[in-house]
Structure 1
Amino acid sequence: MGNSIGGRKKAKVMKINGEIFKIKTPVRAWDIVKDYPGHVLLESESVKKFGIRAKPIEPQQELRPKKIYFLVELPKLPEEKVPRRARSDVRMSAKDRLECLMLSRRSISDLSIARPTSLAPGGSEPNPGPVRVKVRLPRAQLAKVVEGSRDEAEVAEKIIDLFMDKAGGSPVVQRV
């Protein structure tokens, strides 16, 4: 039993299956990753600290002795597809679409008019946020409104008109 001076000059690399292999340092990350296409090296400390968001080691970076590294495969990301435009089954002319757009804008402006200026106690400032409107319609009347409308925007507009008529122009709005 003598005194010995020496240290480990090896770094440990662990694969995802638990297999560990030791590498003599100095060595660059590229020398390990080149045998495993699609894989990257992660430092154990960064994985411990950041988890899945740990940044991979650059290929030209040297591995340090007495450190543990993880060799993991990068996940294959699906190709980004351009979102398809939703089209309705109803074929409308440009004039009909413009009219529908104008009606939907009008119904939105009707909602902003129906909102009171302030619901805060004291009336100091408006309270932004979702608004809950409660309207009670008989089922037959609702069916008639839906049946006599071309699309959802027109249904919403008719329901708002019914709401405004019943409320007498000053609806009671409950904040959520």
Structure 2
Amino acid sequence: MIRGVAVALSLLANSANAADFYFCWQGANGYTMTGQMSITPSALNKPLITQDDVTLFRIAGYQDQQLLGKWDIDTMRDGASWLLNYDPARSVFLTPGEMGLGVSQAWNADGTAMDCGDPGFGFNLGNYAQDFCLNGRWVEESGMPPETPFLVSPVPVDPLCRVYAPTS
């Protein structure tokens, strides 16, 4: 019982310190990505959340439900691409067309295949496509049109972009 109370208190403390979001992207040819981000509560009132407002961020890429690679900001190497633009009011990651940028999301991948998840896994949302990078190689066959929306959820999702229902 004491352990249960301790776990409940730690979850409440976490929720007071950050807002958690989970997301899932469905690419072409069986490619998917899941991720999690935590945002400082004060940033939720901003019209645009950027990488500077994120306290935790991690992604995992899959093909046909088989893990290809992972990336997170805690293990980010110096010089890795890290750009995030999120609209909390609409719960969407912004596209280049909405931002007037060439790349609006660069998560260990810069949109030019010059910084392309090397080593490891990366994702970018550019004006040509949304797609993966894996160990320095652009995975062109994963690509989707830049304006394709993807799921953002307050609860975890799986590699098939199914939302986990909370249980009591």
Q: Which structure dedicates a bigger proportion of its chain to strand? A: 2
- Taking structure 2 as the reference length, the TM-score comes to 0.17
- Taking structure 1 as the reference length, the TM-score comes to 0.17
Q: Which structure dedicates a bigger proportion of its chain to helix? A: 1
Higher relative contact order (CA 8 A, sep 6+): 2
